[in-house]
């Protein structure tokens, strides 16, 4: 690594500091956090006055302060829609896509805003996630216009993005926060914008490294320049003193240099990311959540800084070229997540509308101290998705049919195998349904589902068969028990076979090549699933749902027999090869 002997000693001391802890963060912890986040974000949607305002910080009465989405100087409006885009990523529920879009589109007014460096926070976290998850060119076009607006703030003499116009005490300032915003320029240069945007971002990152990062890896919050590019002053706007290190400002640097290295693969930025990270880790308290300023005598933890760093280090651990550092950075990130998901910082069981307690907005100004912060929550969710991009998030049943939908894509055609686990969470599910339909079909009623598994009122599993429900064997469902289902779906023949494995028992054939719903919509793919209650929300759940193509041998074994002519069936006095179990008419 090119370290001197003192450097090696410091490095191994650091490695010991972040050695694995007993309670390593797990997939189960991530699912627990996402389950709570789902409820908190849904409550916030209901409590906000309209889509023109976004939450910022929690109040003691359990509500949020809000910011107008038209506010040109405020910087936090992108985090709420961004958090909902992350929830859409978790379980592919159209509900979250639609709500995220509802709070994303009002930010379009910001795309021509040239008064602030914070377009990255506003637009990349909202429109950037929207473009990443949907591929809709509308979002891309808004992002490119936003990047062009941010580029107007580039000062070619100094080589930085001038952060802002609102502070008359500054002349040409940079702040560490802008290291987050320049991703908009880097992304834009890779997605149809001019290459000079990349140059602007790289120059800004290098000048920040030169002038804002101290030799020991700590940092100033701001650097102000004279018109000729010389330094006018350095200090802090939200930290303790000119010689101290503001924790969230350091977090922006860790995240920012990691991100710039991802885009550029320039070794200078990996070195920079290591430098600012190693200072941060070496000065953390035992619970891995920093004081609002590393050098301040006043103690007030900032969970938002910890969340941003946890997210950054999970990425840095994948980009790092040194094996020991990869391990150290990932271990440190998991320890941070473990702490943030503990009762000391996790808001579950409190009246907070957010996810994380003990955030600090602006301590010197006496603003937002010991509160939940929407941006802390955003980076917490991002860190969880970097920990596991596809968590085994359960699908809980919903009374509101549109809310129970999950998108499966458009590629599931021909013959497909479907597998999933189902757990009843109540004694009588009253006809609750797991169903499937085409990717283009919006599920607004039960008759929009071509295939369906039902938990009947009399306590058994039934499968949709043409105009009703049928079964070969009576398989009862029991509260709290998990049943594994396997289906063979022939989309061309519009028939399907279902097996169920009860707990501790052998697999049972539930129905054999029964017909799709007779009055169902057209179907070309297996592109949408729905998990629907009829009694109450969350009275059953589905886990481990997956759809895949059968192997060639399995496909051959499952292929339907060649149908015989009707006259020959009559001659043989034989039934057609479908389930002969009872068929029960039902509106569902």
Q: What is the pLDDT of residues 158-214, one digit of tens each?
A: 999 999 998 999 999 999 999 999 999 999 999 999 999 999 999 999 999 999 999
Helix (H) or strand (E) holding 327: helix 323-340
DSSP state letters, 504-546: TS--EEEEEEEEPPTTPPP-SS--EEEEE-SSSTTSEEEEEEE
**What are the domain boundaries of the chain?**
53-387, 395-562
- Positive or negative: CA dihedral 209, 213, 217, 219: negative
Catalytic residue among 177, 181, 224, 377: 177
Helix (H) or strand (E) holding 64: strand 64-68
Closest by CA to 356, choosing from 312, 310, 303, is 303
Task: Assign domain 395-562 to a CATH class.
Answer: mainly beta
Q: Which CATH number fits domain 53-387: 1.50.10.10, 3.40.190.10, 3.30.930.10, 3.40.50.11930?
A: 1.50.10.10
- Cα-Cα-Cα-Cα torsion 521, 522, 525, 528, nearest 10 degrees, comes to -20
Q: What is the pLDDT of residues 38-88, one digit of tens each?
A: 999 999 999 999 999 999 999 999 999 999 999 999 999 999 999 999 999
**pLDDT at position 100, please?**
98
**pLDDT at position 583, please?**
75
d(CA 129, CA 196) in angstroms, rounded, equals 23
Closest by CA to 148, choosing from 183, 107, 179, 194, is 194
Residue 363: other Cβ atoms inside 10 A: 22
Q: Are 83 and 37 in contact (CB under 8 A)?
A: yes
Angle between helices 183-190 and 137-151 (to 10 degrees): 120
**pLDDT at position 585, please?**
73
In a 13 Å sphere around the CA of 203, the CA atoms on its Cβ side amount to: 16
**pLDDT at position 19, please?**
46
DSSP state letters, 372-393: -BHHHHHHHHHHHHHH-SS---
Residue 118 annotated among the catalytic residues of the structure = yes
Residue 177 annotated among the catalytic residues of the structure = yes
pLDDT mean values, one per 10 residues, the chain (588 residues):
41 46 81 96 96 98 98 98 98 96 98 97 98 98 98 98 93 98 98 98 98 98 98 97 98 98 98 98 97 98 98 98 97 98 98 98 98 98 96 95 96 98 96 98 97 96 97 97 98 98 97 97 98 96 96 56 41 38 71
Helix (H) or strand (E) holding 292: none
**pLDDT at position 588, please?**
75
Catalytic residue among 29, 101, 118, 490: 118
The three-point CA angle 215-337-335 to 5° equals 65
**pLDDT at position 386, please?**
98
d(CA 283, CA 13) in angstroms, rounded, equals 12
């Amino acid at each position: 690594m090119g370290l001197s002997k003192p450097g090696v000693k410091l490095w191994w001391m650091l490695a010991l500091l972040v050695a694995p802890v007993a309670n390593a963060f797990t997939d189960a912890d991530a699912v627990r956090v996402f389950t709570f986040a789902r409820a908190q974000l849904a409550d916030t949607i209901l409590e906000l006055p309209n889509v023109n305002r976004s939450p910022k910080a929690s109040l003691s009465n359990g509500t949020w302060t809000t910011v107008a989405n038209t506010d040109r100087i405020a910087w936090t409006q992108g985090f709420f829609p961004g958090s909902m885009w992350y929830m859409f990523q978790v379980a592919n529920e159209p509900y979250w896509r639609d709500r995220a879009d509802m709070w994303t589109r009002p930010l379009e007014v910001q795309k021509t805003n040239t008064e602030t460096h914070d377009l990255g926070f506003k637009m990349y976290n909202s429109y950037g996630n929207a473009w990443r998850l949907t591929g809709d060119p509308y979002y891309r076009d808004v992002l490119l216009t936003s990047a062009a607006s941010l580029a107007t703030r580039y000062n070619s003499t100094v080589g930085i993005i001038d952060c802002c116009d609102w502070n008359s005490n500054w002349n040409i300032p940079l702040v560490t926060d802008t290291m987050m915003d320049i991703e908009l320029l880097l992304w834009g240069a890779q997605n149809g914008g001019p290459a000079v945007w990349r140059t602007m971002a790289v120059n800004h990152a290098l000048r920040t490294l030169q002038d804002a990062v101290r030799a020991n890896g700590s940092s100033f919050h701001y650097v102000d320049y004279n018109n000729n590019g010389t330094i006018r002053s350095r200090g802090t706007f939200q930290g303790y003193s000119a010689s101290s290190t503001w924790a969230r400002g350091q977090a922006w640097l860790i995240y920012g240099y990691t991100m710039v290295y991802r885009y550029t693969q320039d070794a200078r930025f990996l070195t920079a990311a290591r430098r600012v990270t190693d200072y941060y880790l070496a000065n953390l308290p035992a619970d891995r959540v920093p004081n609002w300023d590393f050098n301040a005598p006043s103690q007030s933890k900032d969970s938002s800084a910890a969340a941003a760093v946890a997210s950054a280090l999970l990425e840095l651990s994948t980009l790092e070229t040194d094996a020991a550092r990869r391990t150290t950075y990932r271990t440190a990130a998991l320890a941070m997540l473990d702490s943030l998901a503990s009762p000391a910082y996790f808001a579950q069981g409190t009246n907070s509308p957010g996810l994380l307690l003990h955030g600090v907005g602006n301590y010197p100004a006496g603003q937002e101290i010991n509160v939940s912060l929407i941006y802390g929550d955003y980076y917490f969710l991002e860190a969880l998705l970097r920990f596991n991009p596809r968590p085994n998030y359960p699908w809980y049943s919903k009374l509101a049919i549109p809310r129970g939908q999950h998108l499966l894509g458009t590629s599931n055609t021909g013959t497909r195998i479907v597998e999933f686990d189902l757990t009843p969470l109540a004694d009588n599910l009253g006809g609750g349904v797991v169903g499937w339909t085409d990717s283009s079909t919006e599920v607004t009623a039960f008759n929009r589902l071509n295939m369906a598994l039902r938990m009947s009122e009399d306590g058994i599993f039934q499968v949709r068969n043409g105009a009703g429900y049928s079964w070969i064997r009576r398989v009862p469902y029991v509260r709290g028990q998990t049943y594994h289902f396997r289906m063979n779906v022939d989309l061309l023949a519009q028939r399907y076979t279902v097996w169920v494995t009860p707990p501790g028992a052998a697999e049972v054939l539930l129905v054999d090549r029964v017909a799709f719903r007779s009055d169902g919509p057209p179907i070309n793919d297996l592109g949408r699933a729905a998990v629907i209650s009829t009694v109450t929300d969350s009275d059953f759940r589905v886990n481990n749902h997956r759809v895949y193509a059968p192997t060639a041998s399995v496909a051959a074994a499952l292929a339907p027999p060649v149908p015989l002519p009707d006259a020959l069936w009559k001659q043989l006095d034989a039934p057609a090869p479908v389930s002969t179990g009872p068929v029960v008419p039902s509106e569902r």
